[in-house]
Amino acid sequence: MKRRVVITGLGAVTPLGVGVEESWQALCQGKSGVGVVTGFDASDFRTKIAGEVKGFNPLDFIDRKLARRGDRFIHFALAATRMALEDSGLRINAGNSERVGVSVGTAMGGIESIEKNHQLLLEGARQQISPFFVPSFLCNMATGQIAIEFGARGANMCSVTACASGTHAIGDAFRVIQRGEVDAMIAGGAEAAIRPLVFAGLEPVKVMSTRNEEPEKASRPFDRERDGFVIGDGAGIVILEELEFAQNRGARIYGEVLGYGLNSDAYHITAPDPEGIGAASCMKMTLDDAGISTSRVDYINAHGTSTVLNDLSETRAIKSVFGGRSHKIPISSNKSMIGHMWAGAGVVEAIFCLLTINQGIIPPTINYETPDPECDLDYVPNVARKAEVKIALSNSFGFGSTNGSLIFGEFSP
């Protein structure tokens, strides 16, 4: 028998707010967190907009010494973890520390630390490079710092699978609890990739929106006029627990992780399979893992990046899996408001799925103004919708042809 896994705590730092509640309220109101880049001078770039985190002070969550020694993506992860642990009420102590683990993904790690220290090298100031430089940029350092800060001595993992990193981190955490290796996991994703080097690297690939004159309208998943994704920063963390472990301490339960699937398109380093074959297979795998038929899925939280190829591919994949019912299932893309948070995306979207289940509100896909004949499903355009949602499917697809899907369900004893 596989052990049941539930979610008891949520934490988030997003372009919509610092904290889950602030982010959720803005999302349901259809507010955009996208604006002109302020973290560096982007005037010479074709893309000058991003979903930056606003009003975040790491010292509200960690001490000054730890803040100096870590990259911004680590700050986001630690902050979201503290919020999630407080929300869950889980106390890590000598009696349970070896049964609590960490699984946090990132696509790029400490890119800001790499930029700044490389500049010192170029300027001949090698002696000024910090001894904490390497521990700042390594991808697994968010996972490591969380374990050290909160005393989690169980399974310790880091997913580095581009845009699917956060989803894979939750899925991997789900598996180790199912297998009985631990009783609880701190799982999520964090990213701080709004940096000049990233913009310069993505510019020739032509995947970022250049709708600079209207930043709030730049991310427009499934709309015919979409012209690319918008980078977002931040982090999402969830606390996963084995059901009996959670119940024994009287934890509040947001929902249950019912299924997880992952695979590869094996198609292209940046483009999805045009017919969505890999994505469709991934969703089917997740449904099979959960033992759920397509008729029971009430809502799909789409990867929905606002790129021409991804949105079309995902639409075709959904049609392939759900057939005639695909037009009846509400689908929305949170990236229309938060941008693409890379590793943070799948986790924040998982959090929003759980809140959709709990509160009966499906967030909209904003900026859906001109229907695309080839993207013709119900994308919950522009206005949030009240609906009973008991089972939600969340998709994440990434560079390198990687795919991940999760199914969350309303908790039933």
Is the pLDDT at 413 greater than 90? The verdict is: no
Contact, 379 vs 285, CB < 8 A? no
Taking a C-beta distance cutoff of 8 angstroms, is the pair 387, 374 a contact? Answer: no
User: Is pLDDT of 266 > 80?
Assistant: yes
Cα–Cα distance measured from residue 208 to residue 334, given in angstroms and rounded to the nearest whole number: 17
Two structure tokens written together for 328: 């009846």
Find the mean pLDDT for residues 75-82. Answer: 98
Alpha helices in 39-164 (DSSP H): 64-68, 72-88, 111-122, 133-137, 141-150
> Residue 107 has what pLDDT?
98
Each residue's pLDDT tens digit, 218-254: 999 999 999 999 999 999 999 999 999 999 999 999 9
Q: Which two tokens stand for residue 58?
A: 């790491």
Where residue 1 falls among pLDDT bands split at 50, 70, 90? confident
CB 361 within 8 A of CB 384: yes
The tokens for 269 are 């380093």
Find the mean pLDDT for residues 38-51: 98
What pLDDT digit, counting tens, does each position of 325-351 carry?
999 999 999 999 999 999 999 999 999
Q: Which residues does residue 371 pair with via DSSP β-bridges, in sequence order?
A: 223
Closest-CA residue to 231 (of 194, 280, 283):
194
Confidence of residue 173 (pLDDT cuts 50, 70, 90): very high
Please determine, for residue 322, whether its predicted confidence score (pLDDT) is greater than 90: yes
- Per-residue pLDDT at 72: 98
Q: Which residues are catalytic?
A: 163, 303, 340
Going from N- to C-terminal start, the domains of the chain cover: 1-400
Sign of the C-alpha dihedral computed for residues 18, 144, 189 and 390 taken in this order: negative
For the cut 80, the answer to whether the pLDDT of residue 210 exceeds it is yes
Model confidence at 287: pLDDT above 90 = yes
Q: Return mean pLDDT, the chain.
A: 97
pLDDT at residue 69 is higher than 80: yes
CATH 3.40.47.10 applies to domain 1-400? yes
What pLDDT is recorded for position 379? 98
Q: How far is CA 325 from the centre of its chain?
A: 27
Pairing between β-strand 331-332 and β-strand 391-398 as defined by DSSP bridges: unpaired
Strands of 289-337 (E only): list them. 299-301, 331-332
Query: pLDDT category, 109, cuts 50, 70, 90?
Result: very high
Task: Tell whether the torsion through CA atoms of 221, 282, 2 and 152 is positive or negative.
Answer: negative
Stated pTM of the model: 0.97
Confidence of residue 59 (pLDDT cuts 50, 70, 90): very high
What is the percentage of the chain residues whose pLDDT exceeds 70?
100
Strand-pair category, 255-264 with 402-409:
antiparallel
| Rounded distance between C-alpha atoms, residue 345 and residue 342, angstroms | 5
Q: How far is CA 61 from each of CA 58, 68, 77, 84, rounded to the nearest angstrom?
A: 6, 13, 10, 12
Instruction: Classify residue 306 as left (phi > 0), alpha (psi -120 to 50) or beta.
Output: left
Q: Is the pLDDT of residue 305 over 80?
A: yes
